[in-house]
Amino acid sequence: MIKWRKFDGTPIRKSIKQSVKEAILREKAMGHSLKVCIGTDSQVRSNIVEFATVIVFLREGKGGFMYISNEKRPNNMTIKERLLLEVAKSIEIAYKICDLLDKYDVDLEVHADINTNPQFKSNPALKEAMGYILGMGFIFKAKPDAFASTSCANKMV
C-alpha cells in the first residue's frame, strides 16, 4: 500500500480516496473552487531511483495544498522507461480518484516531467506519455506547464 503524507509531514492514515473526498468536501464547504493536478518526478541516486507523486489541490485565487507519496526502486531502467513509469504512477492515482473529481465537479490535469523541446533527454518519451494520458481521458500537461511534476514533486524527491 502506498503511504501518503501532507506537506508538513503529517501521515495520511485513511485511504487516499477517502482523504481526497474529505478535502474536496471541506474546501467546497469553505466556498473554494478547486482544480487537482497530479504529477510524479524521480531522481537517480547511485543504483536507486526515488519517485515522488503529488496530488496538488489548487484553490482558485487562494493558494493550494498537496499530498505526497515517495517510493524507491532499484535503478535498472533507461531514462525513457523511468519517465513513462512516472507517468504511470500519476495515471494510477488519477484513475483512483477521477470518479470523485467528476462527482464533485473538480477539474483534473495529469502533469508529465517531460520536455517538449527535442534537445532535452526527456523528449523521446513525450509522444508515448501524451498518448497514455490522453488515451485514459485525462488532460495532459508537459514542461513548462507541468508544475505538479516539475516543481511540486521535484521538491519532494
> Secondary structure of 88-138 in the HEC alphabet?
HHHHHHHHHHHHHHHHCCCEEEEEEEEECCCCCCCHHHHHHHHHHHHHCCC
The 10s digit of each residue's pLDDT in 69-94 is 999 999 999 999 999 999 999 999 99
Could you read off the pLDDT of 97-110 as tens digits, one per residue?
999 999 999 999 99
- The pTM of this model reads 0.95
Q: Confidence class of residue 1 from pLDDT cuts 50, 70 and 90?
A: confident
**pLDDT class of 2 with cuts at 50, 70, 90:** confident
CATH of 4-156, one of 3.40.50, 1.10.3470, 3.30.420, 3.30.110: 3.30.420
Measure the CA–CA gap between 91 and 97, rounded to whole angstroms: 10
Contact in structure between 58 and 73 (CB atoms under 8 Å): no
Closest CA to 140 of 114, 118, 113, 112: 112
The residue ranges of every structural domain in the chain are 4-156
Per-residue pLDDT, 16? 97
